[in-house]
Amino acid sequence: MNFEQLEYVVSIANEKSISKAAKKLHISPSGVSQAISQLERELEINIFNRSRGGITLTSEGEVVLSRSIEILNNLKELKDQLLDFKETRVKHMKIACAPTFTYTIHDVLKRYSGIHNRPTIELIEQGTAQILNNITKEDYDLALVVASKAELEKENNLNFEFLSKGNVCILVGKNSPLYELDYVTAEDLLFQKVVMYNFSNKNFLLLTKKFKNEIVLKSNRTMTLIEIIKEGRVFTFVHNSTLKYFPEVISGELKVIPIQETDYIYQDFWVIYPNTKEITSDKTEFIQCVKDHLNGIS
């Protein structure tokens, strides 16, 4: 017994004709007749009375018709539930982002999530090295990282797409002796005290060594670092796009200042995703929103 045979029973009972049922089902009358005969042999009953006057259900056939309708309705409900489940899964995105993208992603989400029928989003902040280690294991749909193309090409089972270039800058508060400068040089930064995010990318750490900076605090609490910079004379390394629309930067409490250096001045931003993950239209639109934000397109 199979579902097709049950569909044939229902169609023949409705049409009261094998040929009409076959036409509606888009198969040959002989195919329908053989399927019904096979089912009758399996059940050891006659489902239909066949005569020159047409086809009618037997008493046993009435029972088979009733149960066939019930089974097919249950099958439809199951398919509908599975479709809803699949669509729900598609409508959820698990995204990881390096600290550089924290405020960029918040701005993007405010605009993106407010549009009707957008996916729900789960956001995880990690360092690029952690993301590369975890992207498959943690089942991320997308991740935003700061890396070189060569680094990403070493990863297996990974797709990547270029987003933008980030100019390396420093972030200072009004109490910093560097606040009034339009740009800083290596000499300005020598021996200055810095605070760092726990999972800062390796190029930021190289800069602290290059400029002989004293790291006075490491934390994975971004707002703690921001408050210390606002109140103190320390700075941290950021990219020019990191805090572009941050309220304290706009108000002038904090200032992003470019570094006048040939080394480390640019870093590449990428979106990455496992090649086992389908890129849906929702993901494509989200990636475009990030690109637009990083490149100053409203």
What is the tens place of the pLDDT at every residue in 2-33? 888 999 999 999 988 889 988 988 889 999 99
Last residue of a domain, one of 89, 112, 146: 89
Mean pLDDT computed over 141-162: 90
Last residue of a domain, one of 89, 123, 139: 89
Q: Average pLDDT, whole number, for the chain?
A: 86
- In CATH, what number is assigned to the domain containing residue 180? 3.40.190.290
Statement to judge: residues 16 and 117 lie in one domain: no
Task: Please tell me the predicted confidence (pLDDT) of residue 263.
Answer: 60
Instruction: Domain count for the chain, please give it.
Output: 2
Mean pLDDT computed over 252-272: 85
**Within a 10 A sphere around the Cβ of 123, how many other Cβ atoms?**
14
What is the tens place of the pLDDT at every residue in 224-252? 899 999 989 999 999 888 787 788 999 99
End-to-end CA distance of the chain: 60
Are 96 and 146 in contact, with CB atoms under 8 Å apart? no
User: Over 70: is that where the pLDDT of 156 sits?
Assistant: yes
What residues contact residue 137 under an 8 Å CB cut-off, 6+ apart? none
User: Tell me, what DSSP letter sits at residue 126?
Assistant: -
Which band of pLDDT confidence, cut at 50, 70 and 90, is reported for residue 112? confident
User: Over 80: is that where the pLDDT of 89 sits?
Assistant: no
Statement to judge: residues 111 and 30 lie in one domain: no
Statement to judge: residues 81 and 99 lie in one domain: no
Return the top range by mean pLDDT from 3-12, 64-73, 106-115, 170-179: 170-179
Statement to judge: residues 80 and 127 lie in one domain: no
Mean pLDDT computed over 158-168: 90
Task: Please tell me the predicted confidence (pLDDT) of residue 127.
Answer: 85
Q: Which residues constitute the domain of residue 227?
A: 92-294
Statement to judge: residues 265 and 153 lie in one domain: yes
Q: What sign does the CA torsion over 8, 14, 17, 21 have? A: negative
Q: Which residue has the higher pLDDT, 242 or 96?
A: 96
Statement to judge: residues 83 and 148 lie in one domain: no
> Nearest 5°: CA angle at 30, between 29 and 33?
85
Which band of pLDDT confidence, cut at 50, 70 and 90, is reported for residue 129? confident
Mean pLDDT computed over 61-88: 81
Statement to judge: residues 289 and 234 lie in one domain: yes
pTM: predicted TM-score of the whole model, two decimal places: 0.63
Statement to judge: residues 39 and 118 lie in one domain: no
Task: Report percent pLDDT > 70 for the chain.
Answer: 93
Statement to judge: residues 214 and 250 lie in one domain: yes
Statement to judge: residues 96 and 82 lie in one domain: no
User: Over 60: is that where the pLDDT of 298 sits?
Assistant: no
- Separation CA 75–CA 83 (nearest Å): 12
What residues contact residue 185 under an 8 Å CB cut-off, 6+ apart? 259, 260, 261
Task: Please tell me the predicted confidence (pLDDT) of residue 292.
Answer: 86
What is the tens place of the pLDDT at every residue in 267-297? 899 999 998 888 888 888 889 888 888 877 6
User: Over 60: is that where the pLDDT of 90 sits?
Assistant: no
Statement to judge: residues 77 and 100 lie in one domain: no
Task: Please tell me the predicted confidence (pLDDT) of residue 157.
Answer: 84
Which backbone phi and psi does 125 adopt, to 5 degrees?
-100, 125
Task: Please tell me the predicted confidence (pLDDT) of residue 255.
Answer: 96
Statement to judge: residues 136 and 60 lie in one domain: no
Last residue of a domain, one of 40, 66, 89: 89
User: Over 60: is that where the pLDDT of 119 sits?
Assistant: yes
- In CATH, what number is assigned to the domain containing residue 18? 1.10.10.10
Mean pLDDT computed over 82-106: 75
Which band of pLDDT confidence, cut at 50, 70 and 90, is reported for residue 221? confident
Q: Give CA torsion, residues 240, 246, 247, 251, to 10 deg.
A: 0
